[in-house]
Structure 1
Amino acid sequence: MPLDEKRDLKVNDVAYESGSIQSEVKLDGPVSLEERRLVRKLDRRILPIACLILDRSNLGNARLQGLAKDVLGGDPTGKRFDWTNSVFFFSYVLCQIPATILAKLLPPRLWLGCAAIGWGICSTLMSTSYNQAGLMAARIGLGVFEAGFGPGIPLYFSRTRIAPCLLVWFAAVAGAFGGLLAFGIQHVHVGIANWRLLFIIEGIPAILLGLIAITFLPNRPETTTFFTEEEREIALIRANCDTSGDVGYHVTSSMRSRTGEHIYLGGVIYFGANAALASISAFLPTIIKTFGYTNARAQLLTVPPYAVTSVVITISSWSSDRLLSRGPFIMVTSAVGGIGYILLLTVHNNHVRYFATFCIVSGTYTTIGLVIAWYAHNLGSETKRATGTPLYMAIGQCGSILGSHLFPATEGPRYIKGFSVLSGLLFLGTICACILTTHFRYENARRDRVYGKHIPGTRVDTSELADRAPGFRYVV
């Protein structure tokens, strides 16, 4: 069949009828040389752009650089900072589901690039704020545009079979870099406040990266000009390895592909992890300062926990990929984060308390990355990922709103309430991960009994039933 005719076929037809390519791209077994080359080509083009866009504004670092004094009237109780921080998550939660559905309907490089440009503009505008209202308006805009990028990028990665954990790994690296950047800016003497310079340095590169994304990010495999015809066929087979279903710029209408009870349990895990993440992002420099360090020293000491976290994410992601298992790893990492908060609650030695921040940061970030990777497979079809991903993420981001209000200045330096609540939520996440793992194991065994054993590499039609398709098997 001529290649021009093949391009007009549905993606699944291409996967089946590309005889020469099918022999090279194995659905089960060693990866071919051609596929390795394609993966390297995708990694070189996608990862640098997507990961550099990812970093959020360092509001927590800006707090120690005079933001509260200049914009929030001194904020003796810390409540103004809490609301300024949390207003971001209100717009983020409200816009996640419609934004991610639109991300399925529009070319990804245009959607992600425009989201990055809007994010960069809002981050830069934060530097121009002279009162709380202006700062909050910029933060609301920040949430709107990040809602287009946050859930949209895992959906984009699922099309190209790039591990979503890589994004969280880079988020941890960005957290370390943010601490170094804040420490460096602390010693810069210029005509504007240090916190304003911090937002400018973060915002302007994001705008430029958005323009680069619009120009260079590959679109869907079936439409991008980034591939040769041979690479296109390999990419289509990779994108639909083991499953075949709804693809293209549309959303299926099947109600059974839209929801699943396990999405809500995943949302509970994500809720606790995001409550901890929001508190880390906004309050980690403040918490470390309570150990008796200066503002500049506290900024610098935020770097090692993030650096260690990048290593933990790498090891846990590689191990869970090799074992084809996510749930047990989530149980462990969520529990490690909970133990970190218990150490902050019960131990008075500052060295142990600083070690606790390593447990919290590594446990929280790794949990989030593993949950995203878990649901990237277990939602079954592209439409369900487009609707289910922002659903459990929206539930999780409600935890971010809670986490933003757990550390008022009046409760420092012990922050008993905040540490207790976050510890309980992370242990609750451990329990939910255990329940989900048991449920997925039971459901896989039930389908094996009723429909027969699943043969690895067998293509499953998930277009209508998504993960409820008889031949679909969950990652546990």
Structure 2
Amino acid sequence: MTQLHTKTGPAHIWCLSQLHTYAYNICLSSPTLPPFTRSVTCVVDDIRMQSYSCHIFLFNVDFASGITASKEFKGDDMKVEVATEERASLEASGAWFMEEKRLIRKLDRRILPIACLLYLFAYLDRSNLGNARVLTGTNDGKPPLPTDALGGDPTGILFDWVNSAFFFSYILCQVPATILSKLVAPRIWLALAAIGWGTCSTLMSTGFDFGGLMTTRVFLGIFEAGFGPAIPLYFSLFYTKEEMGLRMAYWFGFAAVAGAFGGIVAFGIQNAILPFSNWRLLFIVEGLPAICLGIMTFFFLPDRPESTHYLDEREREIAIARMNRGTSGDVGAVVNRSHISMAFRDWRIYTGGVIYFALNCSLASTSAFLPTILKTLGFSSARVQLMTVPPYAVAAFVIVLGSWISDRLQSRGIPIALASLVGGVGYLILLFVPTNLHARYFATFCITSGTYTSIGIIIAWFAHNLGSETKKATGIPMFMAIGQCGSILGSHLFPTTEGPRYIKGFAVCCGLEIFGALCALVMTISYRLDNALRNKLHGVPKEDARVDVAEMADKAPTFRYII
């Protein structure tokens, strides 16, 4: 049957739209109608404008035929999106909303498990030195790593250098690795990275001297540099700014899960009877799964929205529309050199790096030295491994809760500042309450929860606020690389000779947490002022209006920052 169309779309949709507008105007203009009726009409109209209307959706009309989502006209190298009434009718039906929700659930089921498990073992493989440092053979008295491979290391200096070797290569390789990742399919890039770092971690079990351990840690950093900054960039291809915070929390929360899981694994390995030192088995057990996950990633992780075979044609259309929502520019295997230059000149990236530096100093200290710190509370080596689990488990919950709140409020800077201050309070307790074991153990919960939550949110912050893909691919690893310098500092703050008080280490970490909170507030004020100035000069942009970031990235007049 031939369907009647008007110039604005299918006739039945046009009539319904006109009928709603007529009824709406009558309701608002009639003083005789009850206030409740007028209120409901206003609410329904607001819902209609937000594409969640139920009154048209209940007609169960098929909007698939004759609908054009959007049109683009090119002129003077500018793309101008023309929102058609056909698209408005589709959104008003609620069909787009339901399809989008189904797509998000489908993406979550495939992307999040793979990405989170990859980060679980990535973080285990970079931080398991802390467990190996105190891991002895309970049944046969086999020595821990420093005694077995570092000649005893009475001052702890050699262990500090082995721990920090990872961060030297990790810092140097992040920016070039992430820019190169734009030229390779994500599943291939991330799979090779996982196989590489899993192999390096496994080979650490063969380290019999300082040089061998240093070499494997350096290569571990090279391969992980291709993974950590690439994930926020990858997530930004599939998730909008309203969804990024929670997804980044799920992903980064597995760093806290890794801390808890690593303690359990180390406890089990400590009781094993082996022909070699127990810490060597720890590296094997935590390295081999990363290799297997890398192989799985190659076959199962979706590629970019426009090229993945995981989505059908309709889902791919919606995913591409979501990827382009708010911005359009250098997508795909394209590197915009001017945006690389813009990233290196952007003071906010360096300020973000300072915040990340402060947080990573605390994070590296926690991951590498929490077992050592807990041992100062008088626990045995075996119990120390188990006592590391609760602080990380609580941190995993807090980071998800904090990021969910951040997403709901669309606020990043203030949650970062508050969480950083919680971490600072934890270090203050360790500094000034030297004898109360319960208070000191509580302090470790504050440190892990505050620090992990701050890091998860700041990654989501920069994943949106840099505008174009190339600037994200440059700016995200830039601020991460600056931040990882804090990890090097944190690796040297807790030498054995300064135990059990570790006054210098606690004081430095406390000061940096507070300083990071202040910097986050400065960034928030800066973004707020910039948004206000652009609103004044160029007007308030429509919600989800496409911004052409091809030339100016986040400096485009209609681009707005998340604060």
Normalised by the shorter chain, which TM-score bucket? Answer: over 0.9
2:152 maps to 74
Are 1:350 and 2:437 an aligned pair? yes
Amino acid at match of 1:152: A
Are 1:396 and 2:483 an aligned pair? yes
2:273 maps to 189
8 Å CA contact 2:343, 2:475 repeated in 1:
yes
Superposed, 1:51-90 pairs within 5 Å as 51-54=116-119, 55=121, 56=123, 57=125, 58-65=128-135, 66-90=144-168
- The separation in 1 between residues aligned to 2:348 and 2:513, in whole angstroms, is 18
Q: 1:429 aligns with which of 489, 493, 516?
A: 516
8 Å CA contact 1:15, 1:237 repeated in 2:
no
Amino acid at match of 1:242: G
2:285 maps to 201
Q: Return the offset for 1:53.
A: 1.3
- The separation in 2 between residues aligned to 1:96 and 1:433, in whole angstroms, is 23
2:27 maps to none
Is there any run of 5+ residues in structure 1 with no aligned partner, and where? none
2:57 maps to none
- The separation in 1 between residues aligned to 2:400 and 2:455, in whole angstroms, is 13
- The separation in 2 between residues aligned to 1:327 and 1:455, in whole angstroms, is 24
Q: Return the offset for 1:24.
A: 5.2
2:174 maps to 96
1:291 maps to 377
1:178 maps to 262
- The separation in 2 between residues aligned to 1:238 and 1:200, in whole angstroms, is 41
Amino acid at match of 2:314: E
2:195 maps to 117
1:410 maps to 497
1:340 maps to 426
Are 1:242 and 2:326 an aligned pair? yes
Q: 2:357 aligns with which of 268, 271, 292?
A: 271
Alpha-carbon spacing, 1:366–1:213, altered in 2? closer, same or farther (3 Å): same
Amino acid at match of 2:259: G
Q: Return the offset for 1:190.
A: 2.4
Bigger drift between 116-125 and 55-64 goes to 55-64
Amino acid at match of 1:238: R
Q: Deviations over 1:191-235 (max 9, x none)?
A: 232211111011111001001111111111111111111000110
Are 1:258 and 2:347 an aligned pair? no
Q: Return the offset for 1:13.
A: 8.1
Is there any run of 5+ residues in structure 2 with no aligned partner, and where? 1-64, 136-143
Are 1:458 and 2:545 an aligned pair? yes
SS in 2 for 1:127: helix
Alpha-carbon spacing, 1:24–1:117, altered in 2? closer, same or farther (3 Å): farther
Q: Deviations over 1:267-317 (max 9, x none)?
A: 000001011111111100000000000011111000000111011111111
Bigger drift between 235-244 and 118-127 goes to 235-244
Structure of higher CA gyration radius: 2
Q: Return the offset for 1:135.
A: 0.7
Bigger drift between 248-257 and 368-377 goes to 248-257
Are 1:40 and 2:127 an aligned pair? no
8 Å CA contact 1:15, 1:236 repeated in 2:
no
Alpha-carbon spacing, 1:22–1:107, altered in 2? closer, same or farther (3 Å): farther
Q: Return the offset for 1:473.
A: 0.6
CA RMSD after TM alignment: 2.4
8 Å CA contact 1:243, 1:461 repeated in 2:
yes
Q: Return the offset for 1:252.
A: 1.1
Superposed, 1:20-31 pairs within 5 Å as none
Corresponding pairs, count: 470
Q: Deviations over 1:417-449 (max 9, x none)?
A: 111111111111011001000001111100000
**Structure 1 stretches of 4+ moved >3 Å:** 12-26
Q: Return the offset for 1:399.
A: 0.5
Alpha-carbon spacing, 1:2–1:382, altered in 2? closer, same or farther (3 Å): farther
Q: Return the offset for 1:30.
A: 10
2:294 maps to 210
- The separation in 2 between residues aligned to 1:23 and 1:88, in whole angstroms, is 54
Q: Return the offset for 1:254.
A: 2.2
Q: Return the offset for 1:466.
A: 1.0
SS in 2 for 1:105: coil
Superposed, 1:373-392 pairs within 5 Å as 373-392=460-479
Q: Return the offset for 1:238.
A: 1.2
- The separation in 2 between residues aligned to 1:95 and 1:233, in whole angstroms, is 34
Bigger drift between 427-436 and 238-247 goes to 238-247
Q: Return the offset for 1:416.
A: 0.6
Q: Return the offset for 1:145.
A: 0.2
Q: Return the offset for 1:19.
A: 8.8
8 Å CA contact 2:195, 2:295 repeated in 1:
yes
Are 1:301 and 2:387 an aligned pair? yes
2:222 maps to 144
- The separation in 2 between residues aligned to 1:30 and 1:76, in whole angstroms, is 67
8 Å CA contact 1:25, 1:35 repeated in 2:
no
- The separation in 2 between residues aligned to 1:87 and 1:458, in whole angstroms, is 46
1:130 maps to 208
8 Å CA contact 2:81, 2:546 repeated in 1:
no
Flag the structure with more relative contact order, 1 or 2, with Cα contacts below 8 A and sequence separation at least 6: 1
SS in 1 for 2:545: coil
- The separation in 2 between residues aligned to 1:172 and 1:20, in whole angstroms, is 47
2:141 maps to none
Alpha-carbon spacing, 1:371–1:24, altered in 2? closer, same or farther (3 Å): farther
- The separation in 1 between residues aligned to 2:357 and 2:89, in whole angstroms, is 44
8 Å CA contact 1:283, 1:407 repeated in 2:
yes
Identity of aligned residues (%): 60
Q: Deviations over 1:362-382 (max 9, x none)?
A: 111111101001111111111
SS in 2 for 1:218: coil
Bigger drift between 16-25 and 430-439 goes to 16-25
Q: 1:449 aligns with which of 531, 536, 560?
A: 536
SS in 1 for 2:486: helix
8 Å CA contact 1:257, 1:464 repeated in 2:
no
Q: Return the offset for 1:258.
A: 2.8
Using structure 2 for the length normalisation, give the TM-score: 0.80
Q: Return the offset for 1:21.
A: 7.3
